[in-house]
Amino acid sequence: MTGFVSFVGSGPGDPELLTLKAVDRLKRADAVLFDDLSSGPILQYARDGADLVGVGKRAGRPSPKQDHVSRLLVDYAKEGGRIVRLKSGDSGLFGRLEEELVACQNAGVDYEIIPGVPSAIAAAAAIGIPLTRRMTARRVQFVTGHDARGELPPDTNIAALADPGACTVVFMGKRTWPKLCGTLMDHGLPPDTPAILAQAVGTADQHVTRSTVAGLADQLAAEIGTKPALILYGPLAEV
């Protein structure tokens, strides 16, 4: 009998931000395939005897290919039982969810999607700011800072990202930020636009840097470090 897959969003890394449904699925899983950022204390909820398989992908590090991860997930499901695919943040936000859903659909494997606290929302909460400011921030936009090659996506809508009335959150953008920032300023974004670098949100290594878009470009041009991070910029509250 084919098993059942639960795609579980684990939030940013703090186990206290897991949903009750996420904890329930971990406790009942026969196997857990987890990303790097979903490991550590979160795996304490997996039941004794469950297979724990790391399949995380990190920029700049040797990582399993996506087709390998999808194939492994289907192979586990075909053995029967309950499988948890544990992804950081919310799996539907730049989490390569679609490829794995398609693999399950093509293999006739049933699944469910359990949302998690998005890392962008957790970052704003950790910093102590809202993502929207009344009368100032008219919208929020989430964008990725790199494509499958690790480069700035060539079809990025720069005009939208340079909108001074939007609060923008860039995922996986430390490496490409200096280039993106230069392009944004060429399109009219003031260099003194407030910006925040939020690293390792929800973990003991959390570190927040308040700066400007130009200041962060200078910082990241000199050193990007190894911590996962988000870049927030625009009409950010200063509370």
Q: Is 174 a catalytic residue?
A: no
Q: CA distances (Å), 12 to each of 52, 98, 123, in order?
A: 19, 20, 8
Q: Is 172 a catalytic residue?
A: yes
* Residue in this structure with the two tokens 């469910």, named with its chain if needed: 112
Phi-psi region of 13 (alpha: psi -120 to 50; beta: other; left: phi over 0): left
* Closest alpha carbon to 89 in 207, 225, 200, 220: 200
What does DSSP say about strands 82-87 and 31-34: parallel, antiparallel, or unpaired? parallel
Q: Which of 14, 163, 172, 174 is catalytic?
A: 172
Q: CA distances (Å), 116 to each of 50, 92, 120, 224, in order?
A: 22, 9, 11, 27
Q: Which of 35, 90, 163, 174 is catalytic?
A: 35
Q: Which of 21, 57, 78, 179 is catalytic?
A: 57
Q: Which amino acid is at 235?
A: P
Q: Which amino acid is at 169?
A: V
* Residue in this structure with the two tokens 């009998």, named with its chain if needed: 1
Q: Is 35 a catalytic residue?
A: yes
Active site residues: 35, 57, 172
